[in-house]
Amino acid sequence: MSSTDLLLTFNAGSSTVKVGVFSIDGAVARHLGRGVIDLRAEPLSLGLTRGSQTFDMPLKAEVTDDLHGVIDETFALLADEFDMAAAVAVGHRVVHGGERFTSAVALDDAATDGIEALIPLAPLHQPQALRFIRALRHLKPHLVQTASFDTAFHATQDDLVRRLAIPRSLHEEGIKRYGFHGLSYKFIASELARKAPHAAKAVVAHLGSGASLCAMEDGISRDCSMGFSTLDGIPMATRPGCLDPGVILHLAGERKRSLGEIEDLLYHRSGLLGVSGISADTRDLLTDGRPEARQAIDLFTLRIAGEIGRMAATLGGLDAVVFTAGIGEHQPEIRAGVAKRLFWLGLSIDETANAADSFTISTGESRIAAHVVATDEEQVIADEALSVLRAR
Ligand SMILES: Nc1ncnc2c1ncn2[C@@H]1O[C@H](COP(=O)(O)OP(=O)(O)O)[C@@H](O)[C@H]1O
Ligand SMILES: CC(=O)OP(=O)(O)O
Ligand SMILES: [Mg+2]
């Protein structure tokens, strides 16, 4: 590796693909720029941020199954800003690592097949990452590819926490709680160690399109609101969060809904979108005056506060609540809505600090600290990719 080598990251989430460009500087990956493609938007565009500058560039390519057009055009646009000939590797975020992948790996055929085998456990996310992995192998075969897993950070959880109350034989077959958003939680754990070292027992709320909470003790995962699948836990943009399993039986049995219809309902038509009937985006709901919009937001904050209470029980106490990801970082109204419901627990918010998205948003008297921390999954993917490259 020369000092000017570049490393790219691809973070394929449920709604967007976030691309990162890093320079390799010895053992350190330095962020040079980031891009976001919203795969649902028409027309497609690549929003690219370099330093303090942001460019919005239209893409002519269509979203095809193989994604070749999107990748070719993205590389061509990045080449206007970066020396793409110096790219040596691409690190991917892969949502499900199952039991097999508990740390980052180089993507050879066996590892890629192993990731493919986990599609049934994350049908919304896993295929997206695999499409990018396969397309890059085809179009840029000289690039080393690595995978970092959302589930890996949670491997430290107790067997008891990972268990669903179903027959033991199913647990042994892998039907258990895994936990997700681990790359984000790993980044937040390192930020907390630096900026709030006294917050030993913390609940981190990753509130994006997908949303979950993690109970952390000294930076180690003890519990996560997402368990077996990315449907679990708190309501999200279009997913319901945990749901009485009797609802599924009723829909399938009494209402004769097909598996495909139920899957579509749970992954794409529930959550904030389903409850409001208006939008999946909290930005729209907070400015919409209709009562259904307000109710969706209120259900979101009620369920987050309830889950924080449950996590305090797992941790046996609570020193800090941390908000992160799109909603957590940018929406004071949601943070205040959650905090208000935790006043009884000793959490009080400073309105001015909250409105300014400050690092500490709790008051001096608050028994529990509240923080806002910007997450950076791409940095974790890059750091892990670099470790894999250096070990080769
Ligand atoms: N600048 C912002 N201001 C307010 N809300 C935002 C902002 N950016 C993102 N959001 C909210 O965060 C959500 C997306 O969060 P993000 O963490 O980017 O999710 P994902 O990784 O799942 O795409 C959006 O739907 C929106 O509700
Ligand atoms: C795990 C998950 O739900 O990811 P995202 O938030 O990117 O949809
Ligand atoms: Mg995300």
pLDDT in tens, 57-99: 777 777 777 888 888 888 988 898 899 999 999 999 999 999 9
Residue 125 Cα, ligand 2 centroid: separation in angstroms?
Answer: 7
SS3 275: helix
ipTM higher than 0.90? yes
Residue 307 Cα, ligand 1 centroid: separation in angstroms?
Answer: 21
Q: pLDDT tens across 352-389, in order?
A: 999 999 999 999 999 999 999 999 999 999 999 999 99
SS3 159: helix
SS3 57: strand
Q: Is 65 a catalytic residue?
A: no
Give yes or no for a cis peptide into 43 (omega within 30° of 0).
Answer: yes
Tell me whether residue 97 is annotated as binding: no
Tell me whether residue 284 is annotated as binding: no
**Amino acid at the residue 157:** Q
C-alpha–C-alpha distance, residues 104 and 111, integer Å: 10
Question: Cα 18 to the chain's mean position, in Å?
Answer: 11
Q: Does residue 1 carry a pLDDT above 60?
A: no
Q: Looking at ligand 2, which atom is closest to the CA of residue 210?
A: 6
Indicate which residue of 25, 108, 150, 284 is catalytic: 150
Can you give the pLDDT at residue 235?
A: 98
Is the CB of 209 inside a 6 Å radius of any atom of ligand 2? yes
Pocket test for ligand 2, best of 37, 125, 213, 273 (most atoms within 8 A of CB): 125
295 token code pair: 């109710």
Q: pLDDT tens across 94-147, in order?
A: 999 999 999 999 999 999 999 999 999 998 889 999 999 999 999 999 999 999
**Are the CB atoms for 69 and 61 separated by under 8 Å?**
yes
Q: What is the dihedral of CA 206, 154, 151, 31, to 10 degrees?
A: 60
C-alpha–C-alpha distance, residues 392 and 381, integer Å: 17
**Are the CB atoms for 298 and 338 separated by under 8 Å?**
no
Q: Which domains does the chain have, with CATH numbers?
A: 6-149 (3.30.420.40), 198-372 (3.30.420.40)
Nearest in space to 215 (alpha carbons), one of 258, 253, 259, 177: 177
Pocket test for ligand 2, best of 17, 95, 118, 327 (most atoms within 8 A of CB): 95
Q: Does residue 40 carry a pLDDT above 90?
A: no
Across the range 295-317, mean pLDDT stands at 98
Residue 238 Cα, ligand 2 centroid: separation in angstroms?
Answer: 11
- Alpha helices (H) in the chain, listed in sequence order: 68-79, 109-116, 126-139, 159-162, 168-172, 182-195, 245-253, 259-268, 271-276, 282-287, 291-315, 325-330, 332-340, 351-355, 377-391
